[in-house]
Amino acid sequence: MGVYTTIDPGSGEQLAQYPEISDAGLDDLIGRSTTAYRSWRTISLDQRRAVLTRAAEIHREQADELAKLLTLEMGKPIAQAKGEVELVASIYQYYADHVAEFLADEPLTIAGPGTAVVRTEPIGPLVGVMPWNYPYYQVARFAAPNIALGNTIVLKHARNCPQSALAVERVLAEAGLPDGVTSTRSSPRPRSRPPLRTRASRAFR
Q: Tens of pLDDT along the chain (205 residues)?
A: 566 667 888 888 888 888 878 888 888 999 999 999 999 999 999 999 999 999 999 999 999 999 999 999 889 999 999 999 999 999 999 999 999 999 999 999 988 889 999 999 999 999 999 998 999 999 999 999 999 999 999 998 888 888 898 999 999 999 999 988 888 765 444 333 434 444 444 443 4
The pLDDT, as a whole number, for residue 186 is: 54
- Give ∠ CA 7-10-14 in degrees, rounded to 5: 25
- pTM, two decimals, is 0.85
Question: CA-CA distances (angstroms) from residue 94 to 75, 91, 97, 154?
Answer: 28, 5, 5, 22
Residue 66 Cα to chain centre, angstroms? 16
Contact 188, 159 (CB under 8 A): yes
The pLDDT, as a whole number, for residue 2 is: 63
| Host domain of residue 198 | 20-204
Instruction: Indicate which CATH number applies to the domain containing 88.
Output: 3.40.605.10
The pLDDT, as a whole number, for residue 104 is: 94
Q: Is 111 a domain residue?
A: yes
Rounded CA-CA distance 182/95 in Å is 17
Q: Is 12 a domain residue?
A: no
Q: Is 89 a domain residue?
A: yes
The pLDDT, as a whole number, for residue 182 is: 84
Q: Is 6 a domain residue?
A: no
Rounded CA-CA distance 92/52 in Å is 5
Task: Count how many Cα atoms sit within 13 Å of the Cα of residue 62 in the half-sphere of its side chain.
Answer: 19
Q: Is 94 a domain residue?
A: yes
- Give ∠ CA 17-19-24 in degrees, rounded to 5: 175
Q: Is 135 a domain residue?
A: yes
Residue 107 Cα to chain centre, angstroms? 31
Q: Is 3 a domain residue?
A: no
From the list 162, 83, 173, 176, the residue with the least C-alpha distance to 130 is 162
The pLDDT, as a whole number, for residue 205 is: 41
Q: Is 11 a domain residue?
A: no
Residues 6+ apart with CB under 8 A from 39: 178
**How many domains in the chain?**
1
Question: CA-CA distances (angstroms) from residue 134 to 73, 84, 110, 146, 166?
Answer: 11, 8, 44, 19, 14
The pLDDT, as a whole number, for residue 128 is: 93
From the list 80, 190, 199, the residue with the least C-alpha distance to 134 is 80
